[in-house]
Structure 1
Amino acid sequence: MKTKLIYFLLLVVLLCSYTLKSQTITDFSTELPLVIISTNGETILDEPKIMATMKIISNANGINKFTDTANEYNGYIGIELRGSSSQLYPQKPYAIETRNADGSNNNVSILGMPEENDWALLSNYNDKSLMRNILGYKLFQTLGNYAPRAQLVDVIINGSYQGIYLLTEKIKRDKNRVDIAKLKEEDNSGEELTGGYIFKIDYWNSYDSWVSPYSPLNHPDYDVHFVFHDPKWDELTWQQKAYIENYVTEFESKLYSVGYDNPTTGYSKYIDVASFIDYFIVSEISRNNDGFKKSRYFYKDKNGKITAGPVWDFDWAWKNINECYIFKATDGSGWSYKINECNPWVKSPGWMVRLFYDTEFKDLTSCRYFDARENLLTDEYIFGIIDSVYNTVKNPQIKHFQKWDVLGRNVGAPEIDEQPQTYEGEVDKLKEWITTRLRWLDANMIGKCNYTNIASNTTAPEILLWPNPSTDVINLKSVINITELQVYNVSGLLMMNDIVDNDNCSLNIGKLKQGYYLVRIKLENGETIVKKFLKNR
C-alpha cells in the first residue's frame, strides 16, 4: 500500500509539472517577435536539415503571445544545428531554410528583411549583452558596406522556451545580400568565369578548401586555408575552383613581392582597398578575436577585385578574454589583425600585416578612421545603438536569463573581468569596455592623416561639394568665384591642379585610386578652403 502511495504521489508531481510547463508556454508572451518551431518529434541534427514547421508572430501592438495567429511566417522550414564551438553551448544555434511543402526553397521576407530562404538563429549564450553581433553589423553597415540584417527574437522549440536569439540573414550571393554575379555551372571561361565568388577563412576540410602557397609574414611554418563558401565546393567546376585559387595566389604573389605597393601593378590592382580598411576598423574597434582568423569572408564579383567582408561572428568580441596577450589586455590595447602571434588553430593569411608596410595604406586607414570617429562612428552613435537594443530587450531579457542562468558566471569565452550580476551591469560593462578601447585606438591608430599639411582659411565661405563619395566626377559651388582646385592625397602629395570656371566647376576624378583626398579650393578674393572627399571604387 505504501509503495502504491509513493507511485501515486510521483505521478501527481509529474502531472503537475507537465501542467505547469504547458501552462507556462501557453501563457507565454513577449515584446520581441516570437518564433515557434515544431520538429514533430524529430531531433535537430548537425547535418542534414530536417523538415519542421515555423510560425513567427510580430504584432503591431508589440505584444506577441504563444496563442496568437502567425502573421510574419507560417510554414515549413529545414533546420539543422550550425556553428562549431557554439554548438557546445546549452543554447544551440541553428541554420534555417524556409521551404514549401515539397521541400523546395521558399523565398520570403521576414521581419522586414528582403526575400530569401536561408537564415540563421544565433544563440546568445556567449553574449550576455545580447547585442555584440548587432553592434558589429551596424558599424560595418554605417561605413557603407553590406552586413547581415538581423532582428532579436524569442524562440520556442517543441513547446520549450529557448531564450533570445538573433534571427539574421545567412551570408550568400543574392541581390539583397552580397550583390555579385551568379556563377553558373556553364561559366567556365572568359568574362563569365571571373565572378562571383564568396570564400572565407574558417574551419576547413581537405575537400572544401585550398591551401595558399604563401605563409604569413614571420610565420613560415603556418599553412593558410581558404574555404569555398558560395558557391560551395561541390557546386563549383574544376575550372571555377582553379580560377579563384589562381586569382588569390596572383594577388598574394604581388602582395609579397618587391613592387607590392606600385599604384598600377601592385596589390591595389587585386583588392578593394576601401573595404579592407573598413573591415579592419570594425574588427579593431571590437577587438574581435575571430575577425582575422575565423568567420572571415571575402568576395569577388565578375571582373571585380577581392572585397573584404561581410563581417560576421562577434560573440568573442567587445570583451577581455583570457586567451592571448592581445585579447586579455584591460587597458584597451592590442591589435586583432596580429592574431597569428597567438598561434590560432585557424591561421590568418596575414594580409593586413603586409598591407601596413605601405605608408599610403596606413595613411588611408588613419584618415578613414578619424573621419568616421568625427562623423559616422562617434561615441554617441555607438552608445545610441546600445541604448536602442537595451530598450528593446530590457523586459524580455528577464525570461532569457531565467532560462539561461549565466549572469554573474564566467561561461563561454573565458573572460578575465568580474561578471556583473545583472543585465544592466552587463550593458554598463560593455559601454566601459568600448570607451576604453576607443580611447586607445584614438591615441594609437596606425598611419597619419596629414590634413594639417595643407593650409586653409577657416573663415572662407561654405562650399558645396557633391556627390561625396564619388566614382567619376565631383562638383563644387561657392558664392565667391572659384579660380583653382588642387587635389592632394592623404600624405599631402599634389595629385591634380586645375584652373576652373566657377559656372561649371567640376573635377574628373576617375583616374584617381579609391580612397580619401583633400581638395584645396582657391577663391577669387584670395581665400582658400579645404574639403575632404572619398573616391569610391
Structure 2
Amino acid sequence: MEHTAIPTYGITIEPKDLKVLIADVWKDDPVPAKLIVDNIPHEIGISYRGDHTRNFQKKSYSIDFRSYKEEFAGREIHLNAEYRDPSLIRNKLSFDFFQSIGSTAPNSKHVFLELNGEIKGIYLELESVDEFFLQRRELPSSPIFYATIYHANFSLLTPKGNPKPSLMSGYFQKMGTDKDKQDLEKFIVKINTTNREQFGEAIIKDLDIENYLLWLCGAVCTQNYDGFIHNYSIIRNEESKLYQVIPWDYDATWGRNWNGKIMEYYAVPIEGYNTLTARLLDVTEIRQQYRRIMEEILETKFTVKAIEPMVANLHTQLKSYISLDPFKKKSIALFNSEPEFILRFIEKRNSYLRKHLKDLS
C-alpha cells in the first residue's frame, strides 16, 4: 500500500515470537522482529508499552534497535496507538506546543503501521528520552527517570494521602546509578521538609526554575490533568546539577481526558497540582516569574491564531488515512469535528487562564 503524506512502517514477527508477545501484554521483554521502512529491513526487539493502554485493542509498542540507528536518530523509538484520542493529534500537538514555548520536549511524527501484513493504522512515533535525546539537545549525559505512575507527585505521600512504599515509587530509572536514585530521594525529602522561609533560596540550588515553569505552563495550558503526578521525565543536568522536567504522553489534553471523554476547560487550575508546584508558587519571586511567563504565552503562543495552522496541518496530513485505520474508520465524522473542538477549547481555556492570572498576584 502506497502512502505519501506519512511513512509506512512494516513490522514482521515470526509466529512463535508473536505468540510470546501476545501471551503477556504486561511483559516488557522484547521479542525479535524486523521493521521495514522504504524497503530497508532493520533488526529490532519489540514489546508492548504503556500502562492501562496495554488492555486496548490497538496496542502501543516500544521498538529497540539495540544500537544507535542514524535513520531514526536513536537506539529506541515508541509507537503510540493514540487509541482513545479521536483526533489522533493531541500528543504531537502538545509536544509541538511545548517546543514552541521553549520547553524541552520529544520530537514526534505520525506513521502508518502494518504488522505481518495486517493494517494496524495510524501511530505516533515518539522519540525516546535517553542519552541520544540529551546529545541532540547538547545536554550532558545525565541521570534520567520516567514518572510512570501517579505516585510521582514530589510528595512523601501518595495522592490518596497514604505513605509511599518508597520515595522512588512512581519512577522508573532509565539512566544513572544507585547514587542518582538516592539523590532524587533527597530532593523529594528536601521539597517536603525545608521550612517556608528558606524554601526559595534552597530550591534554586537543585531545580532549574525556568525549565520547570515552562513545563508547568505547558501542562496547565494543554490541561493534562494527570501530567503533574506522572507522564513526565526528570533529569539531573550533570553540568548544572539542577533537575529538569520533560513532558511525556500528552494524548489526554486539549479538552479530553485519558478515556477520550470531554474535560471542561476549567478542570485544571492555573496553579496546577503536585507538592513541588505548590511550594514553588508559595515563593513570591517564583510565583511572579510564573505569572510573567504564563501571561506572555497566553498572549502569543496559546492562542487560536498561533495553534490553528498546527491543528489544520496535522488533521489534513492524517485525513486520507482514517478510513484505512481499522480502529478509527467508524469514527470519521468525529475525527473531522475535532479541529474545531480543539480550537474552541483553546479559546475558552485561554480566557479562563487570563481571568485567573490575578490568582498569581
1:201 maps to 2:147: yes
2:246 corresponds, among 296, 310, 315, to 310
Residue deviations 1:106-153 (CA, integer Å, cap 9, x gap): 42223xxxx211100001211111111111111111122321111101
Tell me if the contact between 1:199 and 1:299 (Cα under 8 Å) persists in the aligned partners: yes
Q: CA 1:29/1:353 → structure 2, altered by over 3 Å: closer, same or farther? A: same
SS at match of 1:445: helix
SS at match of 2:197: coil
Greater relative CO, 1 or 2 (CA 8 Å, sep 6+): 2
Matches within 5 A, 1:353-368: 353-368=278-293
1:289 maps to 2:211: no
| Alignment size in residue pairs | 349
Tell me if the contact between 1:154 and 1:164 (Cα under 8 Å) persists in the aligned partners: yes
Q: CA 1:77/1:383 → structure 2, altered by over 3 Å: closer, same or farther? A: same
Residue deviations 1:359-386 (CA, integer Å, cap 9, x gap): 2222111110112233344331111210
SS at match of 2:331: coil
1:75 maps to 2:21: no
Q: CA 1:322/1:423 → structure 2, altered by over 3 Å: closer, same or farther? A: closer
Matches within 5 A, 1:221-370: 221-223=162-164, 225-231=169-175, 236=177, 238-254=178-194, 257-262=195-200, 265-321=201-257, 330=264, 332-335=266-269, 348=274, 350-370=275-295
Q: Which residue of 2 aligns with 1:127?
A: 85
User: How far is the alpha carbon of 1:37 from its aligned partner?
Assistant: 0.5
Q: Which residue of 1 aligns with 2:351?
A: 439
- Partners of 2:301 and 2:334 in 1: how far apart? 31
Q: Which residue of 1 aligns with 2:315?
A: 390
Residue 96 of structure 1 aligns with an amino acid whose one-letter code is: I
1:56 maps to 2:37: yes
- Partners of 1:201 and 1:176 in 2: how far apart? 21
Q: Which residue of 2 aligns with 1:84?
A: 51
1:214 corresponds, among 156, 161, 180, to 156
User: How far is the alpha carbon of 1:329 from its aligned partner?
Assistant: 5.8
Q: CA 1:106/1:198 → structure 2, altered by over 3 Å: closer, same or farther? A: closer
Residue 125 of structure 1 aligns with an amino acid whose one-letter code is: Y
Q: Which residue of 1 aligns with 2:63?
A: 96
Tell me if the contact between 1:30 and 1:154 (Cα under 8 Å) persists in the aligned partners: no
Among all aligned residue pairs of Structure 1 and Structure 2, give the percentage whose two residues are the same amino acid. 18
Tell me if the contact between 2:30 and 2:45 (Cα under 8 Å) persists in the aligned partners: yes
- Partners of 1:370 and 1:133 in 2: how far apart? 24
Q: Which residue of 1 aligns with 2:8?
A: 34
User: How far is the alpha carbon of 1:159 from its aligned partner?
Assistant: 0.8
Tell me if the contact between 2:146 and 2:174 (Cα under 8 Å) persists in the aligned partners: no
Residue 197 of structure 1 aligns with an amino acid whose one-letter code is: P
1:181 maps to 2:115: no
Q: CA 1:399/1:30 → structure 2, altered by over 3 Å: closer, same or farther? A: farther
Residue 334 of structure 2 aligns with an amino acid whose one-letter code is: T
User: How far is the alpha carbon of 1:28 from its aligned partner?
Assistant: 5.4
- Partners of 1:251 and 1:332 in 2: how far apart? 28
Residue deviations 1:380-439 (CA, integer Å, cap 9, x gap): 111121011012112112212x4435528xxxxxxxxxxxx3321122212212221111
CA RMSD of aligned residues (A): 3.0
Matches within 5 A, 1:368-447: 368-400=293-325, 402-405=326-329, 407=331, 421-445=333-357
Q: CA 1:403/1:382 → structure 2, altered by over 3 Å: closer, same or farther? A: same
Q: CA 1:310/1:406 → structure 2, altered by over 3 Å: closer, same or farther? A: farther
Q: CA 1:360/1:336 → structure 2, altered by over 3 Å: closer, same or farther? A: closer
Structure 1 alignment gaps of length 5 or more: 1-26, 58-69, 100-104, 183-195, 340-347, 409-420, 450-537
SS at match of 1:279: helix
Residue deviations 1:181-230 (CA, integer Å, cap 9, x gap): 33xxxxxxxxxxxxx212243239xxxx99978348x9754536352422
- Partners of 1:322 and 1:156 in 2: how far apart? 25
Residue 331 of structure 2 aligns with an amino acid whose one-letter code is: L
1:109 maps to 2:34: no
SS at match of 1:304: coil
Q: CA 1:176/1:386 → structure 2, altered by over 3 Å: closer, same or farther? A: farther
Q: CA 1:213/1:29 → structure 2, altered by over 3 Å: closer, same or farther? A: closer
Tell me if the contact between 1:171 and 1:178 (Cα under 8 Å) persists in the aligned partners: no
Tell me if the contact between 2:76 and 2:127 (Cα under 8 Å) persists in the aligned partners: yes
Tell me if the contact between 1:367 and 1:448 (Cα under 8 Å) persists in the aligned partners: no
SS at match of 2:204: helix
User: How far is the alpha carbon of 1:448 from its aligned partner?
Assistant: 5.4
Of 143-152 and 238-247, deviating more is 238-247
Structure 2 alignment gaps of length 5 or more: none
User: How far is the alpha carbon of 1:78 from its aligned partner?
Assistant: 0.9
1:47 maps to 2:6: no
User: How far is the alpha carbon of 1:328 from its aligned partner?
Assistant: 6.8
Q: CA 1:446/1:131 → structure 2, altered by over 3 Å: closer, same or farther? A: farther
- Partners of 2:266 and 2:190 in 1: how far apart? 37
1:171 maps to 2:129: yes
SS at match of 1:280: helix
Q: Give the TM-score of the pair, scaled to structure 2.
A: 0.85
Q: CA 1:303/1:220 → structure 2, altered by over 3 Å: closer, same or farther? A: farther
- Partners of 2:300 and 2:234 in 1: how far apart? 27
Residue 314 of structure 1 aligns with an amino acid whose one-letter code is: Y
Tell me if the contact between 1:333 and 1:437 (Cα under 8 Å) persists in the aligned partners: no
User: How far is the alpha carbon of 1:95 from its aligned partner?
Assistant: 0.2
Tell me if the contact between 2:140 and 2:239 (Cα under 8 Å) persists in the aligned partners: no
Q: Give the TM-score of the pair, scaled to structure 1.
A: 0.59
Q: CA 1:178/1:94 → structure 2, altered by over 3 Å: closer, same or farther? A: farther
Q: CA 1:142/1:356 → structure 2, altered by over 3 Å: closer, same or farther? A: same
> Which of the pair has more CA radius of gyration?
1
Residue deviations 1:149-194 (CA, integer Å, cap 9, x gap): 1110100001100010001111112244565433xxxxxxxxxxxx
2:112 corresponds, among 154, 167, 178, to 154
